[in-house]
Structure 1
Amino acid sequence: MSTKPLTPTALVDALRSAGLVVVEVGDWENHNRNHKGPWGPVHGVMFHHTVTSGSARTVQICRDGYSGLPGPLSHGVITKDGKVHLVGHGRANHAGLGDGDVLQAVIAERTLPVDNEAGTDGNRYFYGFECENLGDGEDPWPPAQLLAIERTAAAICRAHGWTAASVIRHLDWQPGKSDPRGVDWTSMRSRIAKRLDSPKPAPTPAPTTPTVSLSRLRTAARTDPPKKGTPRSYGGVETVEVALVDEGLLARAYGDGHWGTTTTPAYAAWQRRCGYTGAAADGYPGLASLRSLGLKHGFKVVD
């Protein structure tokens, strides 16, 4: 079992040998964030959804990143047509901080625990693949794209001597995440295991239903937040921000658990979607709009 990252040539060969159409984007072999920290040892493959539409735009965003979150945002992008676009090699801004117990379970290839911590650098340890999808639970996952996810995961696992238990979702790694939303993950891991001729992995744990307190959220929203990287004033902020990211109203870089001046207009945009106008769409959560968001994105609202 190897934990040394594949070279660019070895990665391309592994993917193409699996029958994938690989598109090499620019100088992807040297595009990385290695100056920010180490890349490797690698222990698994993580999949995400992009909350974008349009293949060309999606690939560009994942290669270049956003303001405040430089690219690459993954190693590859799997578009709806099943093509794998390689956009980076080395450290990439895709996994963020996650649960160290999940990492240890992936290393041991055993049943995953529920992720409830965010203190371990996932960008060091995982290959990351973004998949073109709005992440709203309604945008379809075409068979060609699902097949490409299966083949990509199996190809990398085979190259390292891993089983399907080394393939996880962002949802499994970082609290508050939902991606890749809409993929039947039990079925996908079984497909990967079959392709590898390895044992079927244990089912991944069902995500817990987060609870968001309206009063605590409004306090956090009206209080000047601490700077990014410092402890959050209230964990429910990240739950709401993740939902706003999935709605396409907030850039992923700002789903950090700090309300800030960027989250307020994003929430105001959600209020307008709910039919509010003028002062009623001021960007500070109200019970009805928050419940609508929670109903769609799987969190419970309490007063």
Structure 2
Amino acid sequence: MAIPMTAPTFADTLRDEGLVVVEVGDWEHHNRNHMGPWGPVHGVMIHHTVTRGAAATVDICRKGHSTLPGPLCHGVITKDGTVHLVGYGRANHAGLGDDDVLRAVIADKAPPVDNEAGTDGNRHFYGFECENLGDGQDPWPAAQLLAIERVAAGICRRHGWTERSVIGHLEWQPGKVDPRGFTMASMRERIAKRLGLEPQPAPLPTPSKPSVSLSKLIAAARTNPGMKGTPCTYAGVRIWEAALVDEGLLAKPRLDGHFGSDTVTATSKWQERLGYRGRKPGQPADGIPGPDSARRLGTKHGFTVVA
């Protein structure tokens, strides 16, 4: 637990670690503090952006988009290892996550498997978005991985934390896959060595696959809350949407916990990929998850479908 650094100290901390830091606009005062508290802070969270190109990546992380206002992180780590500071304070990066994971971070323990989404992560984590398509194929240059290591180590050093205070988004919120392309266990080993610590052996969990209720998905799709309002409280919607993002059928910004019109359209495209069509000739699939299309998406993306 710690009081957040001041913005100047935050920037100095990164530079002291040997990083190239670019300050973007009025980043020190660009935040979402009017939406909720910022701090105490407990750790650092790493993400990937699903974007290509440094300028475009920095721009969207600073400004956000219509359904998720910026800043979307505190710093953007581009492929050349430069850290672009786009905001400071509360940022829309972590969302709701698992309170058991937060307790493990606070207790300096390895994170358990995340299976809940009810705790405010934007309040408690420094967030860094890393330029990468997140498809498992886009490379992570050595300079970028080194920058992630240095960013995390610098913040941990300043607060007196260990490498166990650094987690990935996929370890925080069910359905998230970022960062994809390297493991957080390997990154924590690097951070520990930079801090002069003995790395904690990676745990050997035997996690069960997350399960998604087909009946709840169908209810969410038929309710269709649209692009505004409160996200569905059922966490399975995010797991479903994350799989559609991985399939290239849903834009990452629409991975927001709503089973809105974009998710219905993406589900329809998945059904059509499997050979399903609407009831009338030329009509698209209805976008309401069915037993077969749900089971096949789950099998491919590591979740089980129950009634």
Map 1:1-303 onto structure 2 (within 5 A): 3-203=2-202, 205=205, 208-214=208-214, 216-225=216-225, 228-229=229-230, 232=233, 234-247=234-247, 249-271=249-271, 278-286=282-290, 289-290=293-294, 293-301=297-305
Alignment-mate amino acid for residue 244 of structure 2: L
Q: What RMSD over aligned residues (CA atoms) do the two structures have, in Å?
A: 2.6
Alignment-mate amino acid for residue 218 of structure 1: I
Q: Percent identity?
A: 67
Tell me, in whole angstroms, the C-alpha distance in 2 between the residues paired with 1:235 and 1:51.
22
Give the TM-score normalised by the residue count of structure 1.
0.88
Asked if the contact 2:78–2:130 (Cα under 8 Å) also holds between the matched residues in 1, the reply is yes
Tell me, in whole angstroms, the C-alpha distance in 2 between the residues paired with 1:188 and 1:164.
9
Give the length in aligned residue pairs. Answer: 301
Moved more, 6-15 or 162-171: 6-15
Tell me, in whole angstroms, the C-alpha distance in 2 between the residues paired with 1:62 and 1:281.
34
Structure 1: stretches of 5+ with no match in the other structure = none
Tell me, in whole angstroms, the C-alpha distance in 2 between the residues paired with 1:77 and 1:263.
27
Asked if the contact 2:231–2:258 (Cα under 8 Å) also holds between the matched residues in 1, the reply is no
Tell me, in whole angstroms, the C-alpha distance in 2 between the residues paired with 1:8 and 1:68.
26
Asked if the contact 2:174–2:235 (Cα under 8 Å) also holds between the matched residues in 1, the reply is no
Give the TM-score normalised by the residue count of structure 2.
0.87
Alignment-mate amino acid for residue 69 of structure 1: L
Tell me, in whole angstroms, the C-alpha distance in 2 between the residues paired with 1:245 and 1:11.
33
Asked if the contact 2:45–2:125 (Cα under 8 Å) also holds between the matched residues in 1, the reply is yes
Asked if the contact 2:231–2:256 (Cα under 8 Å) also holds between the matched residues in 1, the reply is no
CA shift for structure 1 position 96: 0.9
Equivalent position SS for 1:279: coil
Asked if the contact 1:52–1:132 (Cα under 8 Å) also holds between the matched residues in 2, the reply is yes
Tell me, in whole angstroms, the C-alpha distance in 2 between the residues paired with 1:136 and 1:272.
22
Tell me, in whole angstroms, the C-alpha distance in 2 between the residues paired with 1:23 and 1:275.
49
Alignment-mate amino acid for residue 181 of structure 1: R
Q: 1:49 to 1:275 in 2, by over 3 A?
A: farther
Structure 2: stretches of 5+ with no match in the other structure = none
1:23-44 per-residue CA deviation (whole Å, 9 max, x = no partner) reads: 1111111110111111111110
